[in-house]
Amino acid sequence: MTQIIERPPMHGDDAEEPYGPMLTTVPRAARPISVPTSPNLTMAQAINRALHDAMAADERVLVFGEDVAKLGGVFRVTEGLAETFGEQRCFDTPLAESGIVGIAIGLAIRGLVSVPEIQFDGFAAPAFDQMVSHLAKYRMRTRGDVDMPVTIRIPSFGGIGAVEHHSESTESYWLHTAGLKVVVPSTPSDAYWLLRQSIVSRDPVIYLEPKRRYWTREAVDTTAPALPIGRAAVRRIGADVTVVTYGSLVATALSAAELADQRGWSLEVIDLRSLNPLDFDTVADSVRKTGRAVVMHEGPRTLGFGAELAARVQEELFYDLEAPVLRATGFDTPYPPARLEKLWLPGPDRLLDCVERAMEQP
Amino acid sequence: MAEVSAGGVELAPVRLVDPDGSPTAEDRYSRDLPPETLSWLYEMMVVTRELDTEFINLQRQGELALFASCRGQEAAQIGATASLRKTDWLFPQYREIGAFLLRGITPAQMGAVWRGKWHGGLGFTEKCCAPISIQIGTHGLHAVGAAMAAQRLGEDSVTLAFLGDGATSEGDAHEALNFAAVFKAPCVFFVQNNQWAISTPVSYQMAAPSIAHRAIGYGMPGIRVDGNDVLACYAVTAEAAARARDGGGPTLIEAITYRMGPHTTSDDPTRYRSQGEVDHWSALDPIARYRNYLQAAGVWTERLEERVAAKSKRLRTELRESVVGADDFDVAEMFDTVYHDITPDLAHQREQLLAELAKECLGERSDRRAGV
């Protein structure tokens, strides 16, 4: 059998009886590699670059899923990986999402690092059991003995005119599950670095890609990490209302903030980046300043992340508030057909309606 | 023109020792193991049953919340596990007491599950054994993933997944078998067909001629074995493991056995199966059969029986003392083992619970604290 990965130290290597192949996973830091600043990468290209660099930095990193190798993924996000790293490290799987996540868990038990792709958000449902019952719980079930370095990439959210099951917001499921981390990039630079940081995490990370923003461009500095997982970014400084959002809707909130200026409302826009761990301190600092908060996300309102954030803000900042915490979200319906999605998705107007209500409180 | 083979599966199970203990005419597999191995298999089977009995006693005495007995399945578990190397990873369901014992997992480490102290058991992974899986059939995929890791690490290790007849109905069992076949993963699927999934008989799980026949559809060898014949289970698993080590891919083994006890201590099997059926299988008991075989072969001795009895007694005592006497874990571990580095929110919740426990209280917490 051809060995393609250097065998890391094994549990029991120095024991008399080689009980062996329990790898002690010691992820290397997401160190920058030689690629300098890349001008004008799309988010899709930035993710691709992150996968290339992660695989080059650590030979234990594997990429697999449906159509990721030969085709390079339906969005071409995994293009070139199989050619560069060989089909043992980037491979196509049978069409079975539970299987994809299930083998990632087995690979992790033996110390390998998986970056499986679930082709579309709606197709995470068949993998739910593996993600919730095993991936999330394996560390605790083994009393901390087993790392689960698995980053599940899921092209997510709506706004691209897709068919059913291709526009879902799944974050609430994962956020309700202890043991998973959840990150959502909104820019090419964050897409690059959040993915590099996810891949070196010793815990499983659900990495939700806002496919509506795949083609936004930005110069990406691959030599200097941006913020770590667990830190939010203030994307726009304002005085009157704090808008808390993530992923695709960061750009929506920023454009709404320009419109709000015309009405004399100054919006501060916080991009959470990492939903778990949550950087509530950055949210709190902003709300203490503005006294008003609106949470915005695509997914349905009931028990969406906005519900959690609104509860946290009122629990911890009740006496700093000038107005109720409001939510600009999708509706409690199934995601609608493409011709209706523009009406369904929260856009600048739904956000500004909330801002207006917050500003008009007595 | 290339010959297309459908990979036939024989309905008649491989059997090396008849229920009365005499060797069968089967000559494709060998019974010729060294005498110390033959004795060791006997010892492990008896000790497994004795420990199993002690687990049931402790549950009946209120010391354990629940227990899933493996009585009747000792030959299948011991035979399969004994044929592997200690570095071959096992992926158990939850009933594999024999496999755990054989790997050196202590009664206390197994008992942690049933005492309600820790999910999954303690220290299993140090013995190349995955924690127990209460979810049915999902761990087959973990076995395939671990086997694919072995391929990439250049090892000649194999993995073995213990599944049950009920588990083979789960979608994940299908995905595991299919992935293993597609990737030629060095993985052995050892299905203990104990006839019952709680109250549901095998005839409600499938319409196929046998579980092993499903292997044909996956493009892997399938084999039926008498699961109450330890030597047959040893031989067919050794064969499958050798093929997997050699790059020959996975095998689906169906071991035909019987769950002599209830599904768990919470179950009442008299509601769904007859005493006649239980009596039929009692006559096929794996331990009595193997002892008769060893006696005829001149391997069984009074000294062996004494040694086995002494070990059984020691392990029963060890279980009783370790389960009843042991301290519970620090409550902080409930939070500290969720992530490698605890998240800020979880750290706050850990502080909340510790503060609750430190606080004067009027309600149920005063009792609860006493138990911590």
Q: Give the tens place of pLDDT for each residue, A1-22.
A: 455 565 444 444 444 433 333 3
Which residues of A fall within a CB distance of 8 Å from B91? 106
Inform me whether the C-beta atom of residue B342 falls under 8 Å from chain A C-beta atoms.
no
d(CA A19, CA B283): 38
Contact B150 A21 (CB under 8 A): yes
The model's pLDDT over A248-274, given as tens digits with 9 standing for 90+, comes to: 999 999 999 999 999 999 999 999 999
pLDDT digit string, tens, across residues A343-355: 999 999 999 999 9
Q: Which chain A residue has its CA at the smallest distance from B157's CA?
A: A21
Q: Which of A67, A89, A61, A88 is nearest to A79 (CA)?
A: A67
Query: pLDDT tens digit string along A100-119?
Result: 999 999 999 999 999 999 99
Is the bond leading into A277 cis (omega within 30 degrees of zero)?
yes
CA distance B282 to A313: 65
Instruction: Say whether A99 and B339 touch across the interface (CB within 8 A).
Output: no
Interface probe for B, chosen from A60, A101, A110, A203 (most Cβ of B below 10 Å), is A110
Q: What angle do CA B113, B114, B119 make, to 5 degrees?
A: 25
Q: Is the dihedral of CA B264, B267, B269, B272 positive or negative?
A: negative
State both tokens at B326.
């042991």
* Among candidate residues B294, B259, B228, the one with its CA nearest the CA of residue B36: B294
Give me the residue spans of the domains in chain A: 38-220, 233-359
Q: Give the whole-angstrom CA distance, residue A279 versus residue A243.
A: 14
Q: How many whole angstroms separate alpha carbon A222 and alpha carbon B5?
A: 53
**Contact (CB, 8 A) for B357 and B372:** yes
> In angstroms, rounded to a whole number, what is the distance separating the alpha carbons of residues A301 and A273?
19
Q: How far is residue B311's CA from residue B101's CA, in Å, rounded to a whole number?
A: 12
Q: Could you say which of A101, A111, A142 has the minimum Cβ distance to residue B131?
A: A142
Cα Rg for chain A, rounded, in angstroms?
21
CA distances from A161 to A282, A336, A346, B195, B227 (A): 34, 10, 15, 51, 56
User: pLDDT digits over A45-77, tens only?
Assistant: 999 999 999 999 999 999 999 999 999 999 999
Q: How many angstroms separate the CA atoms of B120 and A352, rounded?
A: 50
> Average of pLDDT values for A163-190?
98
> Residue A224's pLDDT band (boundaries 50, 70, 90)?
confident
Amino acid type, A20: G
In whole angstroms, give the CA distance from residue B133 to residue A153: 26
- What does the pLDDT read at residue B360? 74
Q: Which residue of A has its CA nearest to B174?
A: A99
Q: Where in chain B is the domain with CATH 3.40.50.970?
A: 35-325
Q: A-B interface: how many C-beta pairs under 8 angstroms?
A: 185
Residues from chain B that touch A106, judged by Cβ atoms under 8 A, are 91, 141-149, 159
pLDDT (mean) for A89-94: 98
Our CA-based measurement puts residue B271 at a distance from the nearest CA of chain A, in whole angstroms, of 31
- Output the CATH code of domain A233-359: 3.40.50.920
Q: How confident is the model at residue A226 (pLDDT cuts 50, 70, 90)?
A: confident
Per-residue confidence in pLDDT tens, chain B, 372 aa: 344 445 689 999 999 999 999 999 999 999 999 999 999 999 999 999 999 999 999 999 999 999 999 999 999 999 999 999 999 999 999 999 999 999 999 999 999 999 999 999 999 999 999 999 999 999 999 999 999 999 999 999 999 999 999 999 999 999 999 999 999 999 999 999 999 999 999 999 999 999 999 999 999 999 999 999 999 999 999 999 999 999 999 999 999 999 999 999 999 999 999 999 999 999 999 999 999 999 999 999 999 999 999 999 999 999 999 988 777 788 999 999 999 999 999 999 999 999 998 887 777 665 555 444
Q: Which of A181, A190, A304, A195 is nearest to A244 (CA)?
A: A304
Q: Is B272 a catalytic residue?
A: yes
Residue A261 has phi, psi (to 5 degrees) of -55, -35
Q: Which chain A residues touch B155 with a CB distance below 8 Å?
A: 1, 7, 21
pLDDT at residue A361, rounded to an integer: 74
pLDDT score at A308: 98
Taking the CA atoms of chain B, what radius of gyration do you get in angstroms? 22
In contact, B239 and B29? CB cutoff 8 Å: yes
Q: Which helix (H) or strand (E) holds B347?
A: helix B344-358
Q: What is the pLDDT of residue B233?
A: 98
pLDDT confidence of residue A29? 60
Nearest by CB: A3 against B142, B154, B338: B154
**Are A202 and B151 a contacting pair at CB < 8 A?**
no
Helix (H) or strand (E) holding B131: none
User: Which residue, B246, B188, B187, B251, is CA-closest to B220?
Assistant: B251
- Three-point CA angle A187, A189, A194, nearest 5°: 95
- Whole-prediction pTM: 0.94
CATH of domain A38-220: 3.40.50.970
Higher pLDDT, A159 or B4: A159
The mean per-residue pLDDT over the stretch A217-223 comes to 93
Give the CA diameter of chain B: 84
Contact across the interface for A105 and B141, Cβ inside 8 Å: yes
Count of residues making up chain A? 362
Contacts of B152 in chain A (CB under 8 A): 3-5, 62, 88-89, 112
CATH of domain B35-325: 3.40.50.970
Residues of chain A in contact with residue B339, where contact means CB-CB under 8 angstroms, are 139, 179, 181, 203
Give the mean pLDDT of A189-201: 97
Q: Show the beta-strand stretches assigned E in chain B.
A: 89-91, 159-164, 187-193, 196-197, 200-201, 222-226, 251-256
Q: How many of the other CB atoms lie within 10 Å of CB of B60?
A: 11
pLDDT value of position B324: 83
Which residues are registered as beta bridge partners of A116?
A64
User: SS3 for A81?
Assistant: helix
